[in-house]
Chain A
Amino acid sequence: MTTPASLRLSSRGNMPFGIALFGATGVFVALVVALLAANVLYVRGEHVQAAIDSPQICYAVLLSVCTCTITAILSTVVAVPAGYLLARVPFRGRRFVDVLVDVPIVLPPIVVGLALLLLFNQTAVGRWLEDGVEWVLAVLPLHWIGLDHVTSVTYDVPGVILAQFAVASAFAIRTMRVAFEQVSDRREHVAQVLGCTRRQAFFWVALPEVRSGIVAAATLAWARAMGEFGPILVFAGATRMKTEVLPTTVFLEMSVGNVEAAATVSLMMVAAAIVVLLIARTVGARMAA
């Protein structure tokens, strides 16, 4: 303790303020702990064993991990240039683009799913996109990895990824924009005076400075994708052993009254979220150092 006693929250003058701070934080932390505890205490060893033995749940775990990872990569690839553009480049209509980028964040998830469904089923552009993806899927050797049943976007695995991407990328772009805004553009300017082009200054100077922001954006995108349910249900469906991801499993198990399985899968998602957050915080802290 190197803080002078008079500056500590425990000092007499600061006590009410300290109580307010700890009180507000404590209420929320207690709620999170209670939620986790309720889940942990409900699940028994045999429930976990049953989940591990269930091919449907194993498929959902695998599909969730794969789609979330693909979504996180795609979101980051889009978020880095988009965040840079919105943070650094003044252009006509930037405020409007900024608002549009936030739309998937504020829309009800089910509306995002419905919009995707309408885009792909009711518009010429959507049908053209669907045809393009179907052609690519037909060319790819998906049977090598046991995904030969993946043939289209709607009500199929690409639909899961697209539904996750529509929401997760909005969060990733917001994170990258803040990351670029927190770093002064002065170093990029100096790099340009020293001979770099704008592109070189971006790749060689700006990107290394926001490495921890990139990790944060990718993590957030992964976590958002893992929790996505509404758009997936509407756009990709909830077909077992096809488009079933972990939130879908919770929904399906709850709908047939199998609360034990739903709670077990929820616990798996909590564990995955904690592991990803811990990895991201550790990697982010190392990069920032």
Chain B
Amino acid sequence: MLTCDALTIHAGRFHVTNCSLQVERGQWQTIMGPTGCGKTTVLEGICGLRYISSGSLTINGADVTHAPPGQRGISLVPQDGALFAGMRVEQMMGIPLRARGVRRKDRSTAVRDMAAQLGIASLLRRSAAGLSGGERQRIALGRALLCKPSVLCLDEPLSALDMETKAAMRTVLQRIRDKGDLSVLHVTHDMAEAKVLAHTIRIMEDGQLSIPFEATCP
């Protein structure tokens, strides 16, 4: 479970104040709002990539407000996938496991299993260059899930995709939601996407979050 209590998150001169939210295990919460309102800043603050000057952040009861990004039990899928260059997809997806000291053989098995689940097994020998938007997002999602996180942060994961790819990717995300073993914090400005995926939605304006309201899940 992710709990933010009155966080103040700084991104250069911009800051988000009094950010409080709670995402239970198995819950999917979406933050919506116009461009520049601070959605990504909240996500990056929770991930440990932005300075938090006040408030507290707990994950499964442990205070991780000032913990290093990699020790929070969070995974991130950025808007552009942020795939690592100069290596094959298999190597790239295995990096979170390599950082955790998982042996090469076990890493390879885990990556292959995840790739099979996400339908990207045929991409494992390729490099990031030349992959389509949908392929990049699936790889980024697989890489994030291989960390076995408690909290999954998604930063506009479908915004750069065409309609067909978006629909396919949405199905993959729905499957993750229906498994119910993660707290998911999702940022988007697409109401249709939020309604399909989220259990609860919050609106963000000028660095302030609204109270959550129920999304109409299909």
Is B202 in contact with chain A by the CB < 8 A criterion? no
Residue of A194, A200, A209, A289 touching B76 (CB-CB under 8 A): A194
Instruction: Produce 1/0 per residue, A190-230, CB < 8 A to B.
Output: 11111111001000110011010000000000000000000
Q: A192-B48, A193-B49 are in contact. List 5 more A-B contacts (CB 8 A).
A: A191-B95, A193-B76, A197-B68, A200-B99, A205-B95
Q: How far is the CB of B103 from chain A (nearest CB, A)?
A: 16
Choose from A190, A197, A287 the contact partner of B99 (Cβ within 8 Å): A197
> Taking chain A's interface residues, is the majority helix, strand, or loop, or is none over half, making it mixed?
helix
Report, as a range, how many residues of chain A touch the other chain. 10 to 19
Closest to B96 in A: A194
Residues of B within 8 A of A191 (CB): 84, 95, 99
Tier of interface size on chain B: 20 to 34
**Given contacts A190-B78, A195-B96, A200-B99, A209 and B85 within 8 Å (CB-CB):** yes
- Whether B115 is near chain A, meaning CB under 8 Å from some CB there, is no
Given that A186-B78, A204-B95, A289-B129 are known contacts, is A196 also in contact with B86, CB under 8 Å in the complex?
no
Cβ–Cβ < 8 Å partners of B187 in chain A: none
- Distance to closest chain A CB from B179 (angstroms): 20
Interface residues of B in 39-84 (CB under 8 A from A): 47-49, 68-70, 72, 74-76, 78, 82-84
B167 at the interface (CB under 8 A from A): no
Distance in angstroms between the alpha carbons of A211 and B49 in the assembled complex: 26
B99:A194 contact, CB within 8 angstroms: yes
The answer to whether A192 touches B70 (Cβ under 8 A) is yes
Asked whether A205 lies within 8 Å of B70 as measured between CB atoms, the reply is no
Residues of B within 8 A of A186 (CB): 78, 82
